[in-house]
Amino acid sequence: MRFSELAVLVAKGAKKADTLVIIPFFTEYGILDRHLDFLSKQTDLGFDVIVILNPASEEKKVSKLVESKGLPFQVFLAKRREDSGSAGGYCCGQIYALENGYQDMILADVDCYPVDKGLIEALHEKREGGYVRPVAHQVDTAGRVLSRYEEGNIPFYSLLSAEVVKEYGTYFAPLYYGGDDVEYMQRIKQKPVIISNYCEHPFIVEKYYKNLDKYCLFLVNLLIVTDNLRQIAVYLVNLVFSGLAFSIFFPAYGRKLAKGMLGSFFTFTYGKMALDRIRSDKDGYIVPVEKAAGYPIADFDTSFTTDGGYALMPFRIMKSFFRKKVLIKRTKSGFLNTITAMVSERAYFQLDDKRCLLLSRNGNLAVHALKLIVFLVLFPVLMAAALAVYIPQRLLNSPKTYRYGLSSRAR
């Protein structure tokens, strides 16, 4: 696999450093602008940057943005030949780094900001470890730190040496997005060096259900690539539970989600092919947030800290919201969102300050009771079918990701 097969450079220049910061990009122009501002304030500017544009990106707009800033580091722009998601963006950037002799590469989500001015300097100081991870501060829209990942994640401004990438391979591009970070972290067996410097990323758990298509794809992808038995058990139950609930309790878009997600799972289809099956039109079910004004608010973020924790939350949801109208405001769990939609009379999920998504309408008590009975009868049957299909598929068709993306030149 060669860089020229994946992308073409649209803004060239001379290599000036031995470290390459890799930023996959879609259409987040304002976010990229802010990201580059933070990078320009780093105490150590010994790095180049490559922005891996998607086919939908406007390269002229990004080029003007970069040129107008007068940045103190080299920026390359590459336009992908095909839409390959975030996984393909990282893979493309890593191959560019290997082909152009970079010693280290830093993997950065476009919305993961290097707010700590000493972050790059600290990564460089520990670069001999080959794999260095900073702390990740996850913040809400007001910039408040809501969680602190001590070990972060690979795209949370982690540094990988070229030697580590040559040993284990690049990101597994066919996953497109969702589960790709988990797969890459479990593939790299080398223990990371953890530094106290930090980056800032939007609070991930707030995103559950904000992009239902991606949520469904994540469940499919992760089940196909993870080797963690606990994750397999949790996500297999979640996938079957969610798919059945979407088809019974949710509006028309739920049936499309369920068909695409369960169909992809049973045929062992993942990545963009699975996402194309899953994509559903939810526009007709997005309403002004005022529509849910006065509804009880479910906040599954703070609820996790209460006595009993996660295990008791489904029972608390049934007690609190059965046959009631509810607005889910913030969450750590798509699973709990699904349960809320199943048991409530009407449920909305708040997408942002102005909009919310209708999840369920269970106005008729008799019909609602029938739906719950059908769900309880079908769930164990579908679960047994999923297990019967999943075990042989994993044994026979699991993708081989070790050393993925490496050509004879890269080795």
pLDDT tens, 326-340? Answer: 998 877 788 889 999
Average pLDDT, the chain: 90
In the block, tokens 């405001």 appear at 329
Q: Which of 16-20, 108-112, 151-155, 348-352 has the lowest mean pLDDT?
A: 151-155
What is the mean pLDDT of the segment spanning 228-250? 95
What is the mean pLDDT of the segment spanning 202-208? 63
Sequence-distant (6+) residues with CB within 8 A of 21 are 39, 47, 48, 49, 50, 105, 106, 108
Q: In Å, how far are 211, 213, 281, 345 from 284, measured between CA atoms?
A: 15, 16, 8, 19
Q: In Å, how far are 224, 238, 306, 327, 375 from 146, measured between CA atoms?
A: 31, 25, 16, 21, 35
User: pLDDT class for 309, splitting at 50, 70, 90?
Assistant: low
pLDDT value for 188: 93
Assigned CATH class of 3-202: alpha beta
Task: Identify the bridge partners of residue 23 per DSSP, sorted by sequence position.
Answer: 51
What is the mean pLDDT of the segment spanning 309-329? 85
pLDDT value for 207: 58
| Residue 184 in this model has a pLDDT that exceeds 70 | yes
- Secondary structure of residue 53 in the 3-state scheme: strand
User: pLDDT class for 26, splitting at 50, 70, 90?
Assistant: very high
The structure's pTM equals 0.90
| Residue 66 in this model has a pLDDT that exceeds 50 | yes
CA atoms of 96 and 409, how far apart (whole Å): 11
Residue pLDDT, tens place only, 39-48: 999 999 999 9
Task: Identify the bridge partners of residue 350 per DSSP, sorted by sequence position.
Answer: 356
Q: Which residue has the higher pLDDT, 315 or 338?
A: 338
Q: Which of 31-40, 181-190, 305-314, 372-381 has the lowest mean pLDDT?
A: 305-314
Q: Give percent of the chain with pLDDT exceeding 70.
A: 92
pLDDT value for 155: 84
| Residue 205 in this model has a pLDDT that exceeds 70 | no
What is the DSSP pairing of strand 286-288 with strand 193-202? unpaired
Lookup: tokens for 227: 């080797």
CA 162 to chain centre: 24
For CATH 3.90.550.10, list the domain ranges present in the chain: 3-202
What is the mean pLDDT of the segment spanning 145-151? 68
pLDDT value for 300: 67
Phi-psi region of 43 (alpha: psi -120 to 50; beta: other; left: phi over 0): alpha
Lookup: tokens for 287: 């309403």
> Which H helix or E strand runs over 358?
strand 355-361
| Residue 316 in this model has a pLDDT that exceeds 70 | yes
| Residue 197 in this model has a pLDDT that exceeds 70 | yes
Neighbours of 393 (CB within 10 A): 16
CA atoms of 334 and 322, how far apart (whole Å): 18
What is the mean pLDDT of the segment spanning 102-117? 95
pLDDT value for 293: 83
| Residue 410 in this model has a pLDDT that exceeds 50 | no
In the block, tokens 């591009």 appear at 173
Q: What angle do CA 334, 336, 342 make, to 5 degrees?
A: 105
Q: Which residue has the higher pLDDT, 354 or 13?
A: 354
Identify the top-confidence range among 134-148, 175-189, 310-324: 175-189
| Residue 206 in this model has a pLDDT that exceeds 70 | no
User: pLDDT class for 302, splitting at 50, 70, 90?
Assistant: low
CA atoms of 383 and 272, how far apart (whole Å): 25
CA atoms of 156 and 86, how far apart (whole Å): 13
Is-contact 19 91, C-beta < 8 A?
A: no
Sequence-distant (6+) residues with CB within 8 A of 7 are 52, 78, 79, 80, 81, 92, 96
CA atoms of 186 and 307, how far apart (whole Å): 32
pLDDT value for 297: 80
Is-contact 84 24, C-beta < 8 A?
A: no
What is the mean pLDDT of the segment spanning 147-166? 85
Q: Which residue has the higher pLDDT, 104 or 319?
A: 104
Is-contact 17 74, C-beta < 8 A?
A: yes
